[in-house]
A and B are shown apart, each in its own frame.
Chain A
Amino acid sequence: MASEPIKMRLPASEDALRALRIGDEVLITGTVVTARDMAHKYMVEQRPESLRDILEGALIYHCGPIMVRDGEGWRIVSAGPTTSSREEPYQADVLENYRLGGVIGKGGMGEKTSAALKKCGAVYFHAVGGAGTLLAKRVKKVREVRMLEEFGVPEAFWVLEVEDFPVVVTMDSVGGSLHREVLEASAQKRKDLLGL
């Protein structure tokens, strides 16, 4: 267990990302872009080139924030992670196509994403689910939004500048997955409890 969180600035080098291991606590500073269900379907089916400028070297954040109009711009009110497993069919393709540093979400992802992280030298970071106010406070600026009209507030691409955004590495670039480890350990306990 890391005693002090690792500070990481985006875009991070592939070496820095490849050095991270499951269990590492990290504070992220830089650009993250929210993308959830509609966005992932769109990125895989349409493969829009127009998103390259915001995505390359950034992290995708599985999040549908609460935003309030603030003059010409937007104020972010609450912004915790959403369940990542719904993006499992799309994530590997998106990671490779847009050369992301990785993903922030919750609940972990499957083997296809794990293989893509290994190939791309990317990382899956886990934010604390339900910590909406705390995480919104680490967003220093709402830079822009795309596909707002088409997707609605929760599903749009919000381009956020974050500072010391707290996450835990739960899937790394050497095939490690904390989720797989906990699943396997708890599967044994389930068997014992059910006498199976």
Chain B
Amino acid sequence: MPGFVEWGLELIRRASSDLSPDVETVVRRGRDAEPEGSTARNVLDSILQNVTMSRTDATPICQDTGLTTFFVHLPRGYDAEAVRADLVEAIRQATIEGILRPNSVHPITGKNTGDNVGVDLPHIEFEPAHDDAVTIDLLLKGGGSENCGAQYRLPDASIKAGRDLDGVERCVIDMVHKAQGQGCAPGILGVCIGGDRAGSYMGAKRQLLRHLDDANPDPQLADMESRLLEKCNRLGIGPMGFGGVTTLLGVKIGWMHRHPASFFVSIAYCCWADRRRRLVVRDGIAQVL
């Protein structure tokens, strides 16, 4: 009977090679918005062509398959250590098969472990599930886009940002300008308002698990998401930073309670190749969504 090694491998394969349709739809919309014959449109055409090829051939959309981050929800009675061991084995196999590039480098010796396994790699966050199903969200996020992430501490006089939502907006606009095309624009932003330094960054990353066509349950934040998308696209950075109207594909905003003295705004930048998939296992039957 198949278990988490096989299911994990299928989850990784789908995340790496089969772009989620909600992302593809917005890339296509961006492509149509760029003028005919422009480099911006040609870039988005190449991206769409590459998405189709990767899906057909089951090959990685991008050679930088990033660091593997799993968000696992386990029902009562599951052995988290056993699930971890299986996911690690799935990663080893995926690396041998060329679904993942070996991306685990020792920071002091410079040596690559060659199998994507190392200290805190893969990164796995375990949480209790609220029903009988095991849910595993996987995010493959490339290094170039990760390097573009930023954390602001409000107030920040250099951008006239106070400790309020207007201040948060200013951080986002400033960050997108700083990133230019470096993170493989058009990008997707995960934003977290509040939290401590570490939690806030992870909160921002978690926002990237949301689908682009979902609605933020908080109407104020929902408004802010669409307003920031529109404003950032007015920067004119465009696909790959070549200029154009498609700088971002989406903005997703969440929050955490903060310490009275701290007001962090953390932004995770994800490239257009937002490789995320979800594995759901219910009654021994697995499905990758």
Contact = CB atoms under 8 A, between A and B. Distances in A.
Interface in B169-195: 170, 173-174, 177, 180-182, 184
Given A133-B60, A134-B49, A190-B235, A154 B242 contact: no
B160 interface: yes
Contact of A1 (B37, B110, B159, B231): B37
B180 A107 contact: yes
Contacts of B110: 38
| Nearest 4 CB-CB pairings of A with B | A152-B112, A129-B184, A78-B63, A68-B98
A187 B242 CA distance: 14
Contact of B63 (A63, A152, A195): A63
Interface of B: 37-39, 42-43, 46-47, 49-50, 53-54, 57, 59-65, 97-98, 100-103, 105, 110-112, 114, 142-144, 147, 159-160, 170, 173-174, 177, 180-182, 184, 231, 234-238, 240-243, 271-273
A108 B60 CA distance: 24
Contacts of B43: 128, 168
Given A1-B39, A130-B184, A131-B46, A77 B103 contact: no
Contacts of B143: 82-83
- Which of A82, A108, A132, A152: most chain B Cβ within 10 A? A132
B241 A107 contact: yes
B180 A186 contact: yes
A181 B181 CA distance: 12
A126 B125 CA distance: 37
Contacts of A187: 177
Nearest to A154: B101
B37 A178 contact: no
Interface of A: 1, 3, 23, 25, 38, 63-68, 75, 77-80, 82-83, 85, 106-108, 126, 128-137, 151-155, 166, 168, 170, 178-179, 181-183, 185-187, 189-190, 193-196
B165 to A, nearest CB: 15
B159 A194 contact: yes
Contact of A106 (B112, B184, B237): B184
A193 B101 CA distance: 40
A29 B85 CA distance: 45
A187 B273 CA distance: 26
A152 B111 CA distance: 7
B39 A179 contact: no
B148 to A, nearest CB: 9
Given A80-B62, A196-B159, 5 more contacts: A82-B64, A185-B236, A186-B180, A186-B236, A193-B234
Contacts of B47: 128, 130-131
Contacts of B114: 152-153
Contacts of B103: 154
A196 B182 contact: no
A85 B181 CA distance: 11
A67 B50 contact: no
- Which of A66, A134, A135, A166: most chain B Cβ within 10 A? A66
